[in-house]
Structure 1
Amino acid sequence: KACPNCCFCALFHFTVVPVILKALTYDEKRGSCSVGSNVRDAACYVCWAFARAYDPSELIPFINQISSALVIAAVFDRDVNCRRAASVSYRILGTFPHGIDILTAADYFAVGNRVNCYLTISVYIAGFPEYTQPMIDHLVNMKINHWDSVIRELSTKALHNLTPRAPEYMANVVLPRLLPLSVGTDLHTRHGAILACAEITHALCKLAEENNRYKLAAICLFFFLYLSVCQFFFLTVCTLIEKLSLSKMPFRGDPIIGGWQWLINDSLRSLPLVSSTARQHIKESAVSALAALCNEYYINEKGEADPALQDELVTRYISGLQNTEEMIRCGFSLALGALPRFLLKGRLQQVLEGLKKATIISPEDVSFAQARRDALIAIAKVCQTVGVKGEGSQEEYVCKDNVTQIYATLLNGVTDYTTDSRGDVGGCLKKNCKQIMCWLAQQAAEKIDKFRAHAGSVFLTLLHFDRPPVPHIPHREELERIFPRSETETLNWNASSEAFPRITQLLGLPTYQYYVLLGLSVSVGGLTETTVRKYSAQSLFEYMKKIQNDSSEMESFCETLLKVFEDNLRNDRVSVPLLTMLDQMLANGCFDIFTMQGNHPFPVKLFNLCKEEIKRSKDVRKLRSSIGVFCGLIQFEGDMREKVLFQLFLLLCHPFPVIRKTTASQVYEMLITYSDVVDPAIMDEVMTILSDTNWEAELTVVREKRNHLCDLMKVPKPQLVSKVKYGNVLLSFFLCNDQLFY
């Protein structure tokens, strides 16, 4: 007699499972759309039906194949309905490797954002060995040749992020597989393969030792020389040049650099057979490639450029600014804006004069508004690159001899009212006025009195200038109410008690909120206790009280706050005082509206940013400020509390004794303030350990006390699992709930 189970297994193994696996990745382009999404959605439903119809033990022989396919569909499918269907099917499938962790990361809502799936969730799931290679293989076999260019580009970026999970597999298997595809006949496959090679090479070179780097260089050079460049591939090849330059390939002095420069220059020129949007993308890619190429291959040991090369590049790009083709002007303007400082040294005035001429309207080029816009953007970037030095040379710095000319050129742009069939095309220049006002508002909120006074004075001068009035100032009416004309001369910007109560009112104006908050971060979180810190903090807290009961205003403010943090991650000038400011805001109850909302996204994102900011940091002030933020986050209910306690307990065993001592002291104060965190039955013992332990003792002693606290408070204990040598540094990693913590 035949065993029913054997028949069942045979049916599944030879008939059902192969069909389901094929259906989960089925995609076929018909015209400008795809007909595969319904098939993939149905396949997910079939998997869901299996879990409902059969006992989990009957599916065990096939669980690895099906779970891998569903995970891939949940993370990499093009359509959100298929990703969500795969996530739901995976949830009820039964016994599968690392199921709970994956379900937490790739739940129904998390997979709704495609970019997040490709670039973040995929990296987490690939950390589990069962899924690493299948995910990489799927991207290489099914996604880098996808008919949708967005999917192709996302897939290559995902491969970049996944490379650290399997560097040997990428170098020895994936790259050799991609090389023939990069010179194949299918355009989609060639495009995806070239981008994938660029991204993987860049990722590998960030990990590799010198010998591996040379091997990768030879591989990349091999397939690059066989590329037949056409307009379709300008964007791709420029990306490749950028990535190879960032990877520090050993091509200094090699003739191939001249070929790369030629390709970049050609990409900066007009491409009449492609759309205007495609042209813009190509130029942006070429500019990024130029910056990377110059910084890696055109600077000598003294930090200088070859004079002949400098003369050739600068002269070529300046001459292109008067070309009769608008797109060539745009390309060469952006190129000048991307040049590094060592190539601008001694030629700054020549560059500024050339860009200034490109902003002037003449009868022949009255419709070239985009070229004038790019020239103004280039002037701003050049000024940022060379920096400011009041008494410096006008050939090297923004100084007193050229600053008037620069401002005059920038402000002249707001008078451009050029119109054509598209309407007021000069309007693209008016954003410069908005940017100037925002920058001035930021400076007017910062801590140095003389800079704040100068910025505030210029801000009010522009606001109330009437010969003629400066157009396009955002929120003019609200600004005139906050800063009446009658107080233009009497408002003392040097006095923080007068300046900050006014400037913080700009937080309620969406256009200025980001910039004012950026300036306030430096003032409120200042290093020492000063009147600036006192009045800036006081003004900020008063503003927060006013919007405390307005959920939409609070949500907007918190999103801006997180954006400031994210944009300045590891920028110590901003991030360190920002942590101090966040500590004060949490202590003053500025976010009380969210404390009763379990797992609100704001504290979760803030916690993750703080963790990322202090990762591998040796800055004692930064670490101390972060401790205060982590302690303040304990007030948010939900899963946040366990995460905060775990992070604080990690810091209790930090290599720096002063950090251990500071953490213990602040955790002690935190538990006094938020007594509901700890069970009253163990409160006395916890507080005794925190107060009586010598946290500056040897780590072996301290770790024992810390682990006892973990047991008492039911927090997972960080476990030292491995030590890895990275260069000359020995890294230790701690394991908790299958997650690694540095």
Structure 2
Amino acid sequence: MSERAASSGIGASTSCDVNELSRIADTDRAALLEFVNECVDSREDDEDEDEDEDENHRTSNTRTRLMAFMRTLERYRERAVLLDPLLEALISPLTKTVAEEVSSERTHSRRVLRCCEALDAISSLRGWKTCVRFYPNSTKYLEPAVRMLRDARTFDRSRRVSWEVQRVTLAWLSLLALVPFDLLTIDSDMDATSSDVNTIPRVVRVLMYECKLFLGDPGACRDVAAQTLAKLVTRPDMKSVLRDFMSWSSSALRGDVNVESESMFLVPGILRTLAAIYKIGRRDALLEFAESSWQDVENTRETNLAKDSTLIRQLSIKLACRVGLAFLKPRVVSWRYDRGSRRLEDNIRGSSNVNDEERLAIAIHDDDDGEDVHVAIDGIVEICLRGLRDSETFVRWGAAKALGRIASRLPQDFADEIVGAILECFSVIENDSTWHGACLALAELARRGLLLPNRLSEVVPLCVQALTYDVRRGAHSIGAHVRDAAAYVCWALSRAYAPDDFAPFVHGLAPTLLMVACFDREVNCRRAASAAFQEAVGRLGKFPHGIDIVNFADYFSLGSKTRAALDVAPFVCQFVEYRRPLMEHVLDVKLTHWECSTRRLAARAIGILGDLDPEWVAEVGVETVLARTRSLDLPSRHGSIIALGEMLLVTSRMITRLDSDVNVRVLNLISEIGNEVIFTGEGGLLIRSATCRLIECVARAVGSVSMDAYTRDALVAIAEASMESSSEDVQSAASSAICALADARFPVDNAADMRRLVMNHVALLQSDSHVVRRGSARLLGGLPVSVLMGRSVDGVASWRVIIDSLAKTVADSHVETRVCAVMSLAELTCTVLRNSGGVTSGADVAFVGEHVVDALLTCLSDYTTDNRGDVGSWLREAAMKALPLVIGAIQSRVVEVDAHRCRQVISGVLKQAFEKIDRVRCQALVTLTLLARGGEPNRQETRIAYGVTVRALYQAPCGLAILRDVLPETVEGALDASHAASLFDTMRSMLCVEDYAYDVLSGWFLSAGSLGDSLARFSTDALLRAMSEYDGVPTLVVQSIVKTLRENKHNDRVTIPVLRVCDVLMSRGVVDGSNVPVELIDAVRAELYSSRDISKLLAGCACLSHFVRSANEGLHKSSTLGMLALLANKFPRVRSATAEHMYLALLSLHEPSRDDEDATHLLSSNCWDAPTSATKDVRKQLYAAFGLELPPFMLKECTRAAKAKAVDGEGNYAALVHDVGF
């Protein structure tokens, strides 16, 4: 339904417009034609080739060009029609080449194979039925094509033959089978055949035999073979062949001519062939076989094979439908409903005719019911009705179309019985598949005008039920496909009926379609309902305010569930005709939905929609949800509690009068829930969160709910208890509730309570429980200014105490607590600086800048990891979100952040912009854009009530102008600009700014040395380009590598990527190895010392190997010592890799010395996977070959070995003397 609905006016989503698609087709035209010409012009001599080689005909270059050709075609998979102007130019040369080769009996040449592969690629994209029109259709090709098919099947598969050749040949034969000449006159062997087979040409017998074999093929050739057979046997001169095939197919379906294991593939092929025969053949020629075919369908449907095979069931229904159409005369029944011509001109001309009701009455009266309907029709209809209940969608779809086709040839009474049978499928005892199939069948009947207006009174209410079909099953629900199909029914009804006939049902159908369009949880259902509504508006013109709604509720605005419910629904509800139905739908259906997110979205929606009708909220909504709050059903109870809070806010905003007892009932409800077992039992987290939200709404609904101090303290106690929950949702709701109570319900002069609240949660920041610390950190940022401006016992302002405590909490061991502290710092800063009752003195603003900004800068260097990965990225991302808010709040006091901190902020965020996590890079670009260009930060995820605007930083050091040039123009463009493919290349000019270069490279190294293929490739290529373009950058990069290795010694998160980058830079030759400072080698060796990480050792080994051949004596000596030390490493893999790198490095020397050659021989002639003791002498020789002294650890080994040998020698001499007798 979604595609059909979209094509009816809403339009499908696409990334390119029509003009761009045309340009793409023109660009690829040359590439496609070039490959075709290559296939046509190739002239290989196949006769001299070794035919026993596997895939000898597919050279690597040919295969590469073919894959490129297929990739070019694949770009048009969703818009293949754009290739139609090119089809003849692509297909004709290929088919002409195949025809020439086949006529020359070169059926196995490389040219044939390549041409067939290209033809199959085109046919798979555009459809072989479309492409076959451009194949040669001369009669002289019939026999060569049959011979080619036979050879393609029998020739050894290892000898350059593939299924593409078979499918292309079968498709070609489907065209040649229609030659307008008697096949007896075409067969060249007719004179040589015996007299008993004169009536069947040999070419036909061979083709029949081959195609029958392909009917059992499990691949794509089976479908093409079925069409070829159908076109052949339905020729007027092939009656005897048709009779033979019908007899053979009946035997095969019964299992007489094939084994059971082959039936799985053969039966679908036979059924598809029979269905094609009944579609193509003449009715008078097929009637004699119809009875037999119907019996075959009945028998096949009852087999176990059909029960297990969806394809067999679908083809059985298709064949049954075609047989049924053969039993019925082709005609357009006069009783069908005709709404008139779709052309306005024709309708105007026919305006003088009798009206539709009179015309329909005359048609039904004149309908020819005298002809008996074949008895098999009842069974065929029964099979189709059973098909509507099938578990597979495409079987139900086929059954629905079959019912529509059969009903279009039946008398009116019989067709009406089919309609009644379909309507009976809409029963509560039927499953979702039956409802879906029935919807499809109704749509097919309506499209064909077979659903008469007198049935609309039954159909439309059932369609309304189907539009809201949603049945919970376990942890999920079913019914999306039913709602989608119901929208398709509405779309079909809108197109089928005249406005006057459909007018009585508009007021029941229009609100339901808009309910689905605005509130359905599935995007395809929302868009399908919108398409049906748009079709009805355009065709019928009876839907109130249809044009306005269609313009607003378009394909894209309904793509987001949140936007549809919170933006589109309020627009629709401004029209009184739809307001109450939509609000009642939300109240009765969505607030009791099984999915928690749907209930929460419904509560938000009812809060927005309630402003349009506050009287309904007060009189109906509040009473309804209050009654449901005691329901035993958890979803109903949860939805009613969160909706009650939103409704109270509505009544407070709109100053709507509530019943006198509502205040008491709401407060009693909160107390009762807090004391119930469900508050801590199953589903307790949902109820806790909902109750805290209700407390928050009650606190803010000052005009609707009143409370005394005792009640306020009781509500605070409930929320405080929820703060200890481990759920972040519950803690967030509880902190918001406490803040709302403090803001709206604490008296201004009640300083003691305010002080107690602040000091209590400041103390809890030091709690042993990380859950408690997280909750308090979250709460303190949302306190109102009236509480923050209070004084502690020592006389210090509360906000100073809180900022100081939160700044220390940023170093907490629990990452979620640190994230909460960061966001609270931003919220608190904005509250005390942006509020008119906040701080005003310059010293206070400086305190905020010093503590808050410094704390956020500390967070930018947090790289904590645990079993969840880089959890420190959460903190870095939160800090980057908070920085613009804090800086904007400071600037609001006409104070600028000092230049030193500005440089630190820009440097820290720039580093994040080059790191490897996508979302961190994106947030970094957003933050940089705000700081460099100015703007309004996003505060949707915060509790900041005042808008914050950031002014561009002008106090930062030089380089800000360059930064502005490379940043996106707007914050919205940061998402596209953060892609690795463009970010590194665009911002590489920042390496020219000395103040930021090291921080940029610190993040860049992590990306370039990461394991992600695309990220590492894009970042490395951009770094290489920058080093080639900008003078001084290569030296700067090397210095940064040395500095990074020294500052992050044995920090594998940093050093391993840096070593990889160093290896890549040296191997690409962008750094002069002779000018590299020896400090780099020393830093690498120091990092590798005593390391047990194999990946680090391998990266360091590769890095050192580049300097073994250096002309600089210091570099050569230091790197060689490091490599020789790695040859004694305990890991065999490291020793082998080191030997290999050294060997390759020595081989690359232009003029190797004798010692270098000896070292090369030693490295290549020994097994370095062996234990280190076995290679000890070899390593000594290597030290000698390089002219290096043995390191201390080897000298100690030699000393120990010498002493052991001496002791062993003395023992042997004493034994000898003793034996001799001295």
Q: TM-score range by the shorter chain?
A: 0.5 to 0.7
**Residue of structure 2 aligned with 1:49, choices 482, 492, 505:** 492
Could you say which residue in structure 2 is the equivalent of 1:339? Answer: 783
Distance 1:520 1:413, change over 3 A: closer
Report the alpha carbon displacement of residue 157 of structure 1 after superposing the two structures with TM: 1.1
Range that drifts further, 311-320 or 173-182: 311-320
Report the alpha carbon displacement of residue 90 of structure 1 after superposing the two structures with TM: 1.3
Could you say which residue in structure 1 is the equivalent of 2:712? Answer: 257
- The whole-number CA distance in structure 2 between the counterparts of 1:201 and 1:53 is 46
Query: What whole-Å deviation, never above 9, does each CA across 1:274-307 have from its counterpart, x for those lacking one?
Result: xxxxx1122122222121110111133xxx3331
Q: 3-state SS of the aligned residue for 1:147?
A: coil
- The whole-number CA distance in structure 2 between the counterparts of 1:474 and 1:79 is 37
- The whole-number CA distance in structure 2 between the counterparts of 1:330 and 1:558 is 34
Does the aligned pair in 2 maintain the 1:443–1:519 contact within 8 Å? no
- The whole-number CA distance in structure 2 between the counterparts of 1:405 and 1:474 is 22
Range that drifts further, 406-415 or 80-89: 406-415
Range that drifts further, 59-68 or 352-361: 352-361
Could you say which residue in structure 2 is the equivalent of 1:358? Answer: 809
Look up the equivalent residue of 1:63 and give its one-letter code: V
Distance 1:86 1:352, change over 3 A: closer
Does the aligned pair in 2 maintain the 1:386–1:397 contact within 8 Å? no
**Residue of structure 2 aligned with 1:381, choices 827, 848, 860:** 827
Could you say which residue in structure 2 is the equivalent of 1:369? Answer: 815
Does the aligned pair in 2 maintain the 1:441–1:512 contact within 8 Å? no
- The whole-number CA distance in structure 1 between the counterparts of 2:839 and 2:968 is 47
Does the aligned pair in 1 maintain the 2:593–2:635 contact within 8 Å? yes
Could you say which residue in structure 2 is the equivalent of 1:284? Answer: 732
- The whole-number CA distance in structure 2 between the counterparts of 1:74 and 1:189 is 23
- The whole-number CA distance in structure 1 between the counterparts of 2:488 and 2:936 is 52
- The unaligned stretches of length 5 or more in structure 2 are 1-356, 365-415, 417-451, 793-797, 916-922, 938-950, 956-960, 976-1222
Report the alpha carbon displacement of residue 187 of structure 1 after superposing the two structures with TM: 0.6
Query: What whole-Å deviation, never above 9, does each CA across 1:434-481 have from its counterpart, x for those lacking one?
Result: 45765698699x799x844x54443136667xxxxx69744589xxxx
Does the aligned pair in 2 maintain the 1:144–1:151 contact within 8 Å? yes
Could you say which residue in structure 1 is the equivalent of 2:761? Answer: 317
**Residue of structure 2 aligned with 1:295, choices 743, 749, 758:** 743
User: Is 1:65 aligned with 2:508?
Assistant: yes
Distance 1:415 1:79, change over 3 A: closer
Look up the equivalent residue of 2:555 and give its one-letter code: Y
Larger Cα-atom Rg: 2
Q: 3-state SS of the aligned residue for 2:526?
A: helix
Could you say which residue in structure 2 is the equivalent of 1:722? Answer: none
**Residue of structure 2 aligned with 1:518, choices 934, 953, 962:** 934
Could you say which residue in structure 2 is the equivalent of 1:141? Answer: 588
- The whole-number CA distance in structure 2 between the counterparts of 1:174 and 1:439 is 39
Query: What whole-Å deviation, never above 9, does each CA across 1:342-386 have from its counterpart, x for those lacking one?
Result: 32321334434543553446xxxx4x2222333343344334333
Does the aligned pair in 2 maintain the 1:440–1:459 contact within 8 Å? no
Q: 3-state SS of the aligned residue for 1:97?
A: coil
Could you say which residue in structure 1 is the equivalent of 2:5? Answer: none
Distance 1:105 1:179, change over 3 A: same
Query: What whole-Å deviation, never above 9, does each CA across 1:239-288 have from its counterpart, x for those lacking one?
Result: 111111111155343422122111211121133xxxxxxx1122122222
Matches within 5 A, 1:161-240: 161-208=608-655, 212=658, 216-227=662-673, 228=676, 229-230=679-680, 231=684, 232-240=686-694
Distance 1:433 1:155, change over 3 A: closer
Q: 3-state SS of the aligned residue for 1:338?
A: coil
Does the aligned pair in 2 maintain the 1:463–1:476 contact within 8 Å? no
Does the aligned pair in 2 maintain the 1:191–1:236 contact within 8 Å? yes
- The unaligned stretches of length 5 or more in structure 1 are 272-278, 465-469, 478-506, 522-531, 537-541, 561-742
Look up the equivalent residue of 1:269 and give its one-letter code: E
Report the alpha carbon displacement of residue 545 of structure 1 after superposing the two structures with TM: 13
Look up the equivalent residue of 1:247 and give its one-letter code: A
Q: 3-state SS of the aligned residue for 1:122?
A: helix
Distance 1:46 1:251, change over 3 A: same
Does the aligned pair in 2 maintain the 1:474–1:511 contact within 8 Å? no
Q: 3-state SS of the aligned residue for 1:34?
A: strand
User: Is 1:39 aligned with 2:482?
Assistant: yes
Distance 1:59 1:226, change over 3 A: farther
Query: What whole-Å deviation, never above 9, does each CA across 1:98-143 have from its counterpart, x for those lacking one?
Result: 2111211222332222212111111111111111111111111111
- The whole-number CA distance in structure 1 between the counterparts of 2:882 and 2:605 is 37
Does the aligned pair in 1 maintain the 2:822–2:879 contact within 8 Å? no
Distance 1:101 1:332, change over 3 A: same
Could you say which residue in structure 2 is the equivalent of 1:429? Answer: 875
Could you say which residue in structure 2 is the equivalent of 1:150? Answer: 597
CA RMSD of aligned residues (A): 4.2
**Residue of structure 2 aligned with 1:327, choices 757, 771, 774:** 771
User: Is 1:11 aligned with 2:455?
Assistant: yes
- The whole-number CA distance in structure 1 between the counterparts of 2:839 and 2:546 is 64
Query: What whole-Å deviation, never above 9, does each CA across 1:566-613 have from its counterpart, x for those lacking one?
Result: xxxxxxxxxxxxxxxxxxxxxxxxxxxxxxxxxxxxxxxxxxxxxxxx
Could you say which residue in structure 2 is the equivalent of 1:644? Answer: none
Report the alpha carbon displacement of residue 200 of structure 1 after superposing the two structures with TM: 1.3
Look up the equivalent residue of 1:518 and give its one-letter code: G
Look up the equivalent residue of 2:524 and give its one-letter code: N
Query: What whole-Å deviation, never above 9, does each CA across 1:676-726 have from its counterpart, x for those lacking one?
Result: xxxxxxxxxxxxxxxxxxxxxxxxxxxxxxxxxxxxxxxxxxxxxxxxxxx
Q: 3-state SS of the aligned residue for 1:184?
A: coil
- The whole-number CA distance in structure 2 between the counterparts of 1:359 and 1:291 is 22
Query: What whole-Å deviation, never above 9, does each CA across 1:184-214 have from its counterpart, x for those lacking one?
Result: 01111111111111111101210115x5496
Could you say which residue in structure 1 is the equivalent of 2:1061? Answer: none
**Residue of structure 2 aligned with 1:86, choices 529, 537, 542:** 529
Q: 3-state SS of the aligned residue for 2:489?
A: helix
Q: 3-state SS of the aligned residue for 1:420?
A: coil
State percent identity of aligned pairs.
Answer: 27
- The whole-number CA distance in structure 1 between the counterparts of 2:883 and 2:832 is 22
Distance 1:395 1:319, change over 3 A: farther
Look up the equivalent residue of 2:723 and give its one-letter code: L
Report the alpha carbon displacement of residue 416 of structure 1 after superposing the two structures with TM: 4.2
- The whole-number CA distance in structure 2 between the counterparts of 1:515 and 1:131 is 46
- The whole-number CA distance in structure 2 between the counterparts of 1:197 and 1:215 is 15
Distance 1:358 1:41, change over 3 A: same
Report the alpha carbon displacement of residue 428 of structure 1 after superposing the two structures with TM: 3.3
Aligned length: 483
Q: 3-state SS of the aligned residue for 1:111?
A: coil
Could you say which residue in structure 1 is the equivalent of 2:865? Answer: 419
Distance 1:68 1:559, change over 3 A: farther
Distance 1:543 1:113, change over 3 A: farther
Report the alpha carbon displacement of residue 43 of structure 1 after superposing the two structures with TM: 0.9
Distance 1:397 1:343, change over 3 A: farther
TM-score with structure 2 length normalisation? 0.36
Distance 1:169 1:398, change over 3 A: same
Higher relative contact order (CA 8 A, sep 6+): 1
- The whole-number CA distance in structure 1 between the counterparts of 2:546 and 2:454 is 26
Distance 1:292 1:516, change over 3 A: farther
Report the alpha carbon displacement of residue 329 of structure 1 after superposing the two structures with TM: 0.5
Does the aligned pair in 1 maintain the 2:764–2:773 contact within 8 Å? yes
